[in-house]
Homo-oligomer: A and B are copies of this chain.
Amino acid sequence: MSAADYRDFYRGRRVLVTGALGFIGSNLSRALADLGAQVLAVDSLLPDYGGNLFNLAGYEDKVRINIADVRGHAMEYLVRGQDILFNLAGQVSHIDSMVDPFTDLEINCRSQLWILEAVRKSNPGVKIVYAGTRQVYGKPMRLPVDETHLLNPTDVNGINKISGEFYHLVYHSVYGIRACSLRLTNTYGPRQLIKHNRQGFIGWFIRQVRQAVRGEEIQLFGDGQQKRDFDYVDDVVDALLRAGAMEAADGEVFNLGGEAPVALIDLAKMLVEIAGRGGSYRLVPFPPERKKIDIGDFYADTTKIRAALGWRPQVPLRDGLARTIDYYREHAEHYL
């Protein structure tokens, strides 16, 4: 399937997105609508998880928004007749998962059984793309990390995300449901929650840079030399679209990753420079509860998805950050 084909694939298709009012879900839903898909955007709008009606602003007539919890029988109705299911619902806070492990289990693990059982009963022919995470690897034993690296999660969220992914793979091998998983790394861009710091540091950095006029600054834990990789959200959407359209993805797990690893201090410097207006960063000691679940350097080997789906990140970090800063400059009131 050529580059043009996988985008054409979506014209007229019925596509269900869970977590569709969240960061990645909303960017994906907009892209799908632009490609001519009939999008059913499902979100629970649970407080603090990133769901935001403004994320689909301007698309209210192009996608059908359905507020529902994926845990429950509503999904048995909602999955009917769908061609593709992008399964992005979940909560992503490491810290929250340790404070309240039962809720994390509900949202990231039990919810996936509800969705997969609904699919098995009501629409076993649907193709499912699940949003996994690099968190399942924990602290790397070798770099870059490929898909055969041992799983060694450092928090309850990582464990429950593993379960969610494994459920999809078992429903593929046992029931033949065409499911796959993309293990996302640090995704950034427009429409990310930046109200609190529990959903990844990059949204928080952007908030701090924006709030420089109020005296906020980016705080980096430790020496800031930890290397990570970053994907602009449009590149993640592109990977999701490829996985949804291509048979080569079925039953497989793929890493996503950046073009090259970047030290957090260099990310901070770049953000400060792009944002202007007096932004700054500062090194602070690791808070103990963060240190315990910190994984040091992490960057992914993306050979598998490049070979199988033809994906590679296209948006340079500096460009992506500039677009992101611009977005929040324009729409700050909906995210702060």
Q: Give A residues with C-beta under 8 Å from B.
A: 98, 101-102, 105, 109-110, 113, 117, 148, 150-151, 153-156, 158-160, 162-163, 166-167, 170, 173-174, 292-293
CA distance A117 to B103 in the complex (A): 13
Q: Known contacts A155-B174, A162-B166: does B101 contact A113 (CB below 8 Å)?
A: yes
Chain B residue contacts of A110, Cβ below 8 A: 102, 105, 110
Copies of this protein chain in the complex? 2
Additional A-B contact list (18), CB under 8 Å, known A151-B151, A174-B292: A98-B174, A102-B110, A105-B110, A105-B113, A109-B163, A110-B110, A153-B166, A153-B170, A154-B173, A155-B170, A156-B167, A158-B166, A159-B163, A159-B166, A159-B170, A160-B163, A162-B162, A163-B163
CA distance A159 to B155 in the complex (A): 17
Nearest CB in chain B to that of A110: its residue:
B105
Q: Known contacts A150-B150, A154-B173: does B109 contact A105 (CB below 8 Å)?
A: yes
Secondary structure call for the A interface: helix
Chain B residue contacts of A156, Cβ below 8 A: 113, 167, 170
Nearest CB in chain B to that of A117: its residue:
B101
Do B174 and A167 touch (CB < 8 A)? no
Chain B residue contacts of A160, Cβ below 8 A: 163
Chain B residue contacts of A155, Cβ below 8 A: 170, 174
Give chain B nearest CB distance to A107 CB in angstroms. 13
CA distance A79 to B149 in the complex (A): 36
Nearest CB in chain B to that of A160: its residue:
B163
